[in-house]
Amino acid sequence: MKIKISILLLSITLIGLAVAGARKSNGFEPASDLPRGALVYVQVENLPEFIKLVSESDQYKTFASGETMAAFSNGHLGIKLASRLKEFSNSAGFDFDAGTLSTLADKRAALALYDIGKLDFAIVAPMSDTVFQTTQLALNRGKFDSEKLPDGSTLYRTSARQAQRLIFTHSRGRLIVSTRDDLIRQALINIEGRRGMSSLADEPSFKALASDLKPRLAAVWVDQAALNGDYYFKHYWLMSDQKELATVRAGLFDIGIDERSVSERRVFLTDGIGNERNLDARSVADALKFIPTDAPLYSVRSADPASIDKAIGEALFTRKAIKPVGSTTGGSSTSIYGDKFEMAIDEEIEVDAPIETAAPRPISELFAKPRSIVTFSRPKILESPLFFETDRAVIVTLADARKFDQAAFETLIAERFASERSVGSDRFKWRSENGWRVLDLPFLGAGARYRIEGANILLTNGFELSGGSPTSVKDGEFSELTVVNLDQRNTAFDKVFEDFQKRGAEVRLMTSNVAGLLDSAAPARRLEIRKRASGKLIEETIVAER
């Protein structure tokens, strides 16, 4: 289920990037109207236009009619959201759909979410009285209970018998809609200028980030410290390892566009205990020349012991070769797509307790004074029954590669394979071939290969890495850079999964989801994700080049 949610949300982001139009912004004024305590804040500069552009775009139509949306709609979270929308519709007496949402703002609109499980929210949108009188809310206010407030405002509420209440008012040139009485009353106090320190704009983490980022088409702020402890976020919305967010206090995201690309900028406020170190693009140019120009995916980051051990571990020791589901050749199926792939998010998976083994010696100990690390992956087709594999390479740049202890490195790699495969280490013999040191593992259908090139240590999971012309990276500083070449879709995805299906592998859910994502991103040929550290702030920029 988490895989479905991740693909869905990333698809929606790419759709938004594909159809959005840039607009000038005057800042985060709506945040001064909304109460504090929000978990998520969303501001759109022109809500009617944005909804129209997205709903009428070819990318959205492709996505909405695909199996990714169908899988999400039939899942626990999709059903929950649909149920909430139905409750709102029942309360208001008319359907809450894209058309209705587009009438809730003249142009700019802001929404704050205060409870993920209950979907408690508040919306503030600047709106003239003339425009308000034409909205669905105003036209249907006769179906609501009303209350006159001392300041002259009128609150309209659905019946208390409704499962999900809806409250709205139009006051001082703003339309305010909420699910909670206290939120709408506090918003009115804030608008009157009597807010004290009770508005979202007064939240310290919001102020820290809003001063560093100016909104364009749309912006999103999240109180990540609060979300990290929220049950519904952790179980239904989280798309990554929770540990990755443990040091993040808040985040602010902004989307914009120019003639040749669309971009999303993210700024995170952290607790400042990370060890992020920035690199200059020119300092990694020598290492990047070994990456093939047709590489579908590669990344660069500043090196530290943890990143080195993780990269080498993923390259050599986490091989996931796949054979068709149901195949009996060579023993039990090694497919990573079994009958539990569709397991509901809130179901417990029973697994055997892992066998306790001594922790292996960190490979990173042999890489003295590492500067940067480059990783690269590329899928390929093998012979049956193990017919899918990923070529993986790691390039570590050292201050002085002459001090690299090759003998100790080879011994450590061999011992690691022997320990994890429960075989004798005498079966692992390194040999020389065309300037490479090679370790053959025929009984695993894989191997290891490395060589030293200047200040770089090149390591692969068996294939001979030979880059073409130097890979292009734009100038500037970054602590981490990931590049996805979407123009390599045919070889990196389509052909691989076409072969999956020909050989009987039951991976329809995976292929349809990934295909839907790539179709949604069709206007983009290249994605560049750049991360930069600056004190307690971490900035990420995602650029989709057309």
Q: What is the pLDDT of residue 344?
A: 37
**Percent of the chain's residues with pLDDT above 90:** 26
Residues 283 and 387 occupy one common structural domain: yes
**Pair 463, 517: CB distance under 8 Å:** no
Q: What is the pLDDT of residue 464?
A: 85
In a domain, 15, yes or no: no
Rg (CA), the chain: 27
Residues 243 and 286 occupy one common structural domain: no
The pTM of the full predicted model, rounded to 2 decimals, is 0.69
Burial 108-143 (b: 16+ CB within 10 A, else e): bbbbbbbebeebbbbbbbbbeeebbeebbbbeebee
Domain boundary among 227, 258, 289: 258
Residues 43 and 115 occupy one common structural domain: yes
Distance CA 307, CA 302 (A): 8
In a domain, 321, yes or no: yes
Residues 230 and 307 occupy one common structural domain: no
**Pair 370, 308: CB distance under 8 Å:** yes
In a domain, 31, yes or no: yes
Distance CA 36, CA 197 (A): 8
In a domain, 349, yes or no: no
Does pLDDT of 141 surpass 50?
Answer: yes
In the beta sheet, which residues pair with residue 111? 42, 123
Domain span at residue 248 reads 21-47+97-258
Inter-CA distances, 526 with 260, 261, 409, 472, 522, Å:
11, 10, 36, 12, 10
Burial 293-311 (b: 16+ CB within 10 A, else e): eebbbbbbbbbeeebbbeb
pLDDT tens per residue across span 97-134: 777 777 778 888 999 999 988 888 999 999 999 989 98
In a domain, 222, yes or no: yes
Residues 283 and 239 occupy one common structural domain: no
What total of structural domains would you count in the chain?
2
Measured on CA atoms in the order 233, 234, 237, 239, is the torsion positive or negative?
Answer: positive
Q: What is the pLDDT of residue 110?
A: 93
Residues 254 and 283 occupy one common structural domain: no
Residues 312 and 412 occupy one common structural domain: yes
Residues 290 and 189 occupy one common structural domain: no
In a domain, 437, yes or no: yes
pLDDT tens per residue across span 263-289: 888 899 988 766 678 888 888 888 888
Domain boundary among 208, 226, 258: 258
Name the residue with higher pLDDT: 68 or 227.
227
Residues 304 and 166 occupy one common structural domain: no
Residues 195 and 285 occupy one common structural domain: no
Residues 158 and 242 occupy one common structural domain: yes
Q: What is the mean pLDDT of residues 419-423?
A: 68
In a domain, 341, yes or no: no
pLDDT tens per residue across span 225-259: 998 888 777 766 655 556 777 888 999 998 877 66
Identify the three-state secondary structure at position 85.
helix
In a domain, 441, yes or no: yes
Residues 153 and 227 occupy one common structural domain: yes
